[in-house]
């Protein structure tokens, strides 16, 4: 089953062909999995119980210390599913049940079993999506974390992306083309298959296993290293104004508001002509992002992003994402995607074969 809406968070529904670089990234994932096995499970409740003993760590120069490797490990849908219409939070009972299902699915995946094969509820029948499609990219043995939120989007209150009518059409068109083509030239695959990027808007919580992001701080700068596509953000926090140079990742300036890092990003390059699996991840020149990073306990970075772009959305929207800290010795690895992109010639060769077949059958 393909998804015709924005892709669910924590899954990676993309037609991926293994590349040399991807293999290296996979080693990184496995390493992270192994190193993360001893980590305690947290639900929102567990996290809050430890909060009283926790104090905000600080760098030698006095900023809140956000450093480490972080990834989103939650099972919260990006948009609110229809079944939770009008409800922003799950009940405690629902959290318990979902947590049980997540653990069961993870155990099944680790055993190399699809749910149906062991006479249990199949992954596709489960009330929470498993990672059945492109499951190569997932940590099979690690259950996703269950939180009370029914959607990452908290504003607008219905938990849905407020597309403009044109953007909704473009989203439907992109979704229909996704994995189907036609793939006539290198401009047709999505930007992930082209080894370009998945974009800055979803960087903190998209990608395999929610994506690995390493935060490194130095005086006057916060750097975010995103393993996938080796995307990197060098964010000055020294009070400088925005640059007037447009970039695909825009121009980011950061500031500290109490213990929150606030990053304001404008001056994006227009990439609306590039194909994406999810239209909301591609920038237009009118995109404006405000991101707020707050460490709320030892294990959790609360990431709040407000997305404003009148070209794509009829109103701003805000998502709140609880991002988990991985073990201290977790490293991110080199992601040589473009350097080993054998998929592109194969995809284009397949496109030519399809075109030739169509010509001969006409």
Q: Shortest distance, CB of residue 349 to other proteins, whole angstroms?
A: 7
145: nearest Cα among 341, 325, 340:
325
Of 12, 70, 78, 183, which lies in the binding site for other proteins, with binding defined by CB under 8 A? 183
- In this chain, which of 155, 186, 302, 327 binds other proteins, going by CB under 8 A? 186
User: Contact at 8 Å (CB) between 162 and 317?
Assistant: yes
Dihedral (C-alpha) 186, 189, 191, 195: value to the nearest 10 degrees?
Answer: -60
Nearest-angstrom CA–CA distance, 81 and 85: 7
23 binds other proteins (CB under 8 A): yes
Instruction: Give alpha helix (H) positions in 61-117.
Output: 92-110
Give CA separation, 115 vs 79, 103, 112, 126, 140, in Å: 25, 12, 10, 9, 13
The answer to whether residue 262 forms part of the interface with other proteins (CB under 8 A) is: no
The alpha carbon dihedral of 46, 48, 290, 57 has a sign of negative
Give the shortest CB-57-to-other proteins separation in angstroms: 11
Report how far residue 279's alpha carbon sits from residue 291's, in angstroms, rounded to the nearest whole number. 19
The smaller minimum CB distance to other proteins, of residues 8 and 192, is found at 192
Question: Does the protein bind other proteins through residue 200 (CB under 8 A)?
Answer: no
Does residue 51 touch other proteins according to CB under 8 A? no
Smallest gap, in angstroms, from Cβ of residue 347 to other proteins?
Answer: 9
By C-beta, is 5 or 247 nearer to other proteins?
Answer: 247
Binding mask 236-255 for other proteins (x = CB under 8 A): x---xx-x-x-xxx------
Pairwise CA distance, residues 189 & 174, whole Å:
10
Does residue 184 interact with other proteins by CB under 8 A? yes
Say if strands 288-297 and 300-308 run parallel, antiparallel, or are unpaired. antiparallel
Q: For binding to other proteins (CB under 8 A), which residues are involved? A: 23-24, 27-28, 31, 59-61, 67, 182-188, 194-197, 214, 216-219, 221, 223, 225, 230-232, 234, 236, 240-241, 243, 245, 247-249, 331, 333-334, 336, 338-339, 344-345, 348-349, 351-352, 355
């Amino acid at each position: 089953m393909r998804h015709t809406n924005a892709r669910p968070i924590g899954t990676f529904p993309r037609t991926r062909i293994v590349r040399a670089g991807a293999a290296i990234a996979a080693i990184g994932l496995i390493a992270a999995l192994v190193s993360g096995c001893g980590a305690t499970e947290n639900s929102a409740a567990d996290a809050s119980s430890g909060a009283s003993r926790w104090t905000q760590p600080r760098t030698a120069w006095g900023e809140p210390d956000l450093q480490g490797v972080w990834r989103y490990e939650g099972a919260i849908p990006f948009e609110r599913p229809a079944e939770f219409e009008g409800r922003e939070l799950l009940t405690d009972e629902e959290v318990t049940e979902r947590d049980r299902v997540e653990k069961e699915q993870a155990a099944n995946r680790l055993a190399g079993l699809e749910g149906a094969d062991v006479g249990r509820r199949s992954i596709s029948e489960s009330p929470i999506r498993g990672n059945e499609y492109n499951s190569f990219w997932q940590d099979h043995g690690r259950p996703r974390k269950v939180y009370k939120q029914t959607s990452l989007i908290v504003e607008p209150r219905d938990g849905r992306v407020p597309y403009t009518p044109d953007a909704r059409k473009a989203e439907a068109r992109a979704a229909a083309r996704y994995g189907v083509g036609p793939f006539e030239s290198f401009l047709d695959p999505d930007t992930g298959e082209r080894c370009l990027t998945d974009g800055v808007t979803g960087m903190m919580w998209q990608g395999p296993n929610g994506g690995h992001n390493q935060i490194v701080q130095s005086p006057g700068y916060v750097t975010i290293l995103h393993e996938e596509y080796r995307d990197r953000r060098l964010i000055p926090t020294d009070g400088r104004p925005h640059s007037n140079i447009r970039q695909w990742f825009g121009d980011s300036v950061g500031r500290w508001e109490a213990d929150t890092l606030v990053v304001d990003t404008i001056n994006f390059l227009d990439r609306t002509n590039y194909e994406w699996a999810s239209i909301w991840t591609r920038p237009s020149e009118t995109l404006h992002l405000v991101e707020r990073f707050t460490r709320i306990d030892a294990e959790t970075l609360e990431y709040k992003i407000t997305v404003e772009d009148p070209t794509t959305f009829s109103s701003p929207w805000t998502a709140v994402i609880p991002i988990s800290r991985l073990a201290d010795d977790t490293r991110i690895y080199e992601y040589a995607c473009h350097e080993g992109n054998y998929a592109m010639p194969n995809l284009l060769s397949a496109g030519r074969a399809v075109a030739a077949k169509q010509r001969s059958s006409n």
